[in-house]
Amino acid sequence: MRTIHAYLVRVLLLSPCLVVLSWLWMSPFAYPATPEEIGLKIATESKARDDGFGNFTAKQTMVLRNKQGQESRRQLRIKVLEVDDDGNKSLTVFDEPRDVRGTALLTHAHKHEADDQWLYLPALKRVKRISSSNRSGSFMGSEFSYEDLSAPEVEKFTYRYLRDEPCGDLTCTVCERFPVDKKASGYSRQVVWQDKDELRIWKVDYYDRKDAHLKTLTVGNYTQHLDKYWRAGEMNMVNHLTGKSTVLTWADYQFRTKLRDRDFSKTGLKRVR
Amino acid sequence: MRRRAVRYPLAFTAVWLAASIVAIEAHAEFELAAWDLSGRVSLEGRAFPQTGIDASQRSYTTGFVVEPKLYLEEAEGSSFTLLPFFRYDSVDSVRTHWDLREAYALLYGELGAGEWEVRLGVDRVFWGVAESQHLVDVINQIDFLEHPNGEVKLGQPMVHLTWTGDWGVLEFFGLPYHRPRIYPGRGGRLRFAGLVDRERVEYESRAEEWHPDFAARYSRSFGPLDVGMSVFDGTSREATLVCAPPACGGSAFPSVFIPYYSQIRQFGLDAQLTLDSWLLKFEAIHRSGERNPLGQEEGIRTALIQGGGFEDILGQYREEEYVAAVVGGEYTFYSVFDSTADVGLLAEWNYDERGRRALPRRQPMTLDNDFFIGARLAFNDVQNTEITAAFLTDASRETRNLGFEFDRRLFDQWSLHAEANLILSIDPLDVQYVGRRDGFYEFHLEYNF
């Protein structure tokens, strides 16, 4: 009797919570949650919608522009593998500039600990384990840092929902995200605009450690793959401090290719061309 | 076809071309899934501020390098890479040389939960983690004509099998042919006081350069720790130089040394621990079988006086067993002073059990109890500008070297490299004392395609 009684009490006590939880789940932007909870919910939901893509390959072109308008080009190939219960594995191969052709960067991202990174130098045929703490450094002299180009794992930030506002023809939610490991990031916070329908990112404002507005990223030319996964076609990063900008264009997206875990090993890294 | 050095790459290329033609003929419907041609052409100059110790040595040289790379892919898991190399040198006809750096077929596929990989042909292999020297790295002969730092290697014919699994990476190497080290010619700098005989190469093994050498390596990553264990059994990549009359000693000048290659066995261990901005590195080897003339001067002198030949003098060289190690690390300050630049600091200690009897392994510097301190400034700009400084000092002797390097991309396909290699002081008791006047400046203008 006592156990049944205790059970009933527990059910009665818990049921309102369950109702609230399930209600929150169904309508992510519902009223009673705190801005922090809504922010986290949006981030979690964005990640959940991208789950199951398996792997993809794409070509990237970067056009770096300085204040005077002089241009410099970078050409890369990227391969990404989804990993269950951990960060993705990715392999980036440099095609241009020609002097770094064949150089490749292998990253095993992790949700909680530091990422593992290896660099392959084709002239020496050397694989070098490198420090992954350089997240705020410039990627190939561009306005993108390593941090900007890595997949934002949910666990690496805390969140705060700010407001909803129109963005083009869509309605966007505007959220702030703050790095959990403050030393590992070059930013104090980022403000992210995502449309409410598909949770695609359209704009990010980056604030440096002194909370000055450092950079703005605008994203566009989205395409949908496998009837589910949205991928950006163009990303434009403008540095307000230096007046420099970088346009990153993505092309030739291919999902669920023959890529396997073994292609993202040190042995696989030595095979890139 | 007088010289061995030239004969080898020619013969190998001919064999490969013939094999390729046969292979293509056999698959009449052979189709390429992908191909790629890239490479570099480099204009280079080198100047030595001091005259050489031998009057026939020149103080400056110019030349160029051509290094194209062809990649052919038949299907996923089956490709062929060809990478020939050619250097022209204006003063040293020996340094004008060519080599087949790479010419290999690469095949790979699934093996249970892991994978297999085969590389068949000429290839280059790098092992190790340290910067001041590459102790455990024994597969390839170095291209000593290119640079005394030993970073450039000759292609090595091999069968290279790799088996990868959750438990790590296991590699086997079958090395059927030995590439002797080539030393600069009469007009060239960065050689010993004497010349090295290019007609005569002596081997401990009766099979000479065809002695089958074997090597294996097991490597694995444990979170932040990368570890490798290796073994090599076969012909040493480092020559023991033997001075034998009549070409050496007495009235012969410059003396001509005969290179002798021992059969050695080497066990190696290398490890790197990567923690935040720290890279902590360790390399160690145990080597046996190499012969050393140092410390046997009296016996050699007696053998010479008694009119002994090559065998008698070599008989005085003692076979030895020793341990050598490198331990050190690297720390990087990222985005210094709110700029985009990174500053990396490096420090390594090199140890050799043989102490003063240590022989130079891959570079003219003997590293028996030597500290290496380096700094790397990477601007992370559009031109990828980088400056490095390296200081090498012997803790027990007055030998100190200082090097600077500067790299910058000029335009998308053009880049510039400049370096200074300064000998600050050198101890007269050092083996490398003969190279005391060989500090130099070098520049490259490189076009990449």
Whole-number Å distance between alpha carbons of A44 and A34: 15
Q: Least CA distance to A259: which residue of chain B?
A: B76
Task: Give the pLDDT confidence of B370-425 residue by residue, as tens digits.
Answer: 999 999 999 999 999 999 999 999 998 888 999 999 999 998 899 999 999 999 98
Report the gap between the CA of A184 and the closest CA in chain B (Å). Answer: 9
Helix, strand, or coil (residue B412): coil
CA distances from A71 to A5, B9, B382, B386 (A): 74, 42, 10, 21
- With 0-12 / 13-18 / 19 or more C-beta atoms within 10 angstroms meaning exposed / middle / buried, residue B68 is middle
Residue A151 · residue A108 · CB < 8 Å = no
Quick one: tokens of B304? 């010479």
CB distance from B320 to chain A under 8 Å?
Answer: no
Cα A193 → chain centroid: 14
pLDDT at B445: 97
CATH of B4-448, one of 2.40.160.10, 2.60.120.860, 3.30.360.10, 3.40.50.300: 2.40.160.10
Which chain B residue lies closest to A62 (C-alpha atoms)?
Answer: B382
Please state the CATH superfamily assignment of the domain spanning residues A48-270 in this structure.
Lipoprotein localisation LolA/LolB/LppX (2.50.20.10)
Q: How far apart are the first and last CA of chain B?
A: 32
The C-alpha of B242 sits at a distance from chain A's nearest C-alpha, in angstroms, of 31
- The greatest distance separating any two alpha carbons of chain B, rounded to the nearest whole angstrom, comes to 72
Quick check: B29 pLDDT over 50?
yes
CB–CB contact A97 B413 (8 Å): yes
Task: Report the chain B residue with the minimal C-alpha distance to residue A120.
Answer: B126
Distance (Å) from the alpha carbon of B150 to chain A's nearest alpha carbon: 11
pLDDT in tens, A200-249: 999 999 999 999 999 999 999 999 999 999 999 999 999 999 999 999 99
The pLDDT of residue A65:
95
Q: Give B156-170 pLDDT, tens digit per residue.
A: 999 999 999 999 999
Does B436 score more than 90 pLDDT?
A: no
The domain segmentation of chain A, as residue ranges, is: 1-32, 48-270
Q: Is 60 exceeded by the pLDDT of residue A13? A: no
Domain range summary for chain B, segments of one domain joined by +? 4-448
Give the pLDDT of residue A185.
87
Across chain A, the runs of DSSP E, i.e. the strands, are: 55-65, 71-81, 89-96, 104-108, 116-121, 126-130, 157-167, 170-179, 187-195, 201-208, 213-220, 223-225, 229-231, 234-239, 245-255
More confident residue, A46 or A184: A46
Token digits for B213?
């050498």
- Considering chain A, what percentage of its residues have pLDDT values greater than 70? 88
Give A104-160 pLDDT, tens digit per residue. 999 999 988 888 999 999 999 999 999 888 788 889 889 999 889 888 889 889 999
The beta-carbon neighbor of B277 closest among A124, A131, A266 is A131
Q: Quickly state the pLDDT bin for B86 (edges 50, 70, 90).
A: very high
The closest CB to that of B381, out of A132, A141, A258, belongs to A141
- B99 interface with A at CB cutoff 8 Å: no
Return the number of CB contacts < 8 Å for A and B.
105
Question: Cα torsion at A216, A218, A224, A230 (round to 10°)?
Answer: 20
Name the closest residue on chain A to residue B169, using Cα atoms. A267
Chain B neighbors of A73, CB-CB under 8 A: 412
Distance of alpha carbon A215 from alpha carbon B340, whole angstroms: 14
First CA to last CA across chain A, in angstroms?
72
Q: Which of residues 100-159 of B touch A (CB under 8 A)?
A: 106, 108, 110, 114-115, 117, 123-126, 129, 151
Chain B residues whose beta carbon lies within 8 Å of the beta carbon of residue A93: none
Distance from CA of B166 to the nearest CA of A (A): 10
Per-residue pLDDT band for A23 (boundaries 50, 70, 90) equals very low
Q: Check CB contact under 8 Å for A141 and B380.
A: yes
Whether the pLDDT of residue B233 is over 50: the answer is yes
Q: Pairing state of beta strands A55-65 and B225-235?
A: unpaired
Q: Give me the mean pLDDT over the B68-81 stretch.
A: 91
Asked which of A68-82, B135-149, B309-323, B354-368 is least confident by mean pLDDT, the reply is B354-368
* Best to test chain A binding among B220, B336, B412, B414 (most A CBs inside 10 Å): B412
Q: Compute the radius of gyration of chain B from its Cα atoms.
A: 23
The mean pLDDT value for B427-446 works out to 87
At residue A252, the pLDDT reads 95
The residue of A99, A237, A245 whose CB has the most chain B CBs within 10 angstroms, and thus the best one to mutate to test that interface, is A99
A262 touches chain B (CB under 8 A): yes
Tell which of A94, A98, A133, A181 to mutate to test the B interface (max B CBs under 10 Å): A98
Q: Is A258 on the interface with B (CB under 8 A)?
A: yes
Percentage with pLDDT > 70 across chain B: 92
Give strand pairing partners of A204.
A192, A217
The predicted structure's pLDDT at residue B72: 93
How do beta strands B195-196 and B256-261 pair? Answer: parallel
**Chain A contact set for B104 (CB, 8 A):** none
ipTM more than 0.85?
yes
A 10 A CB-CB count for B200 gives 16
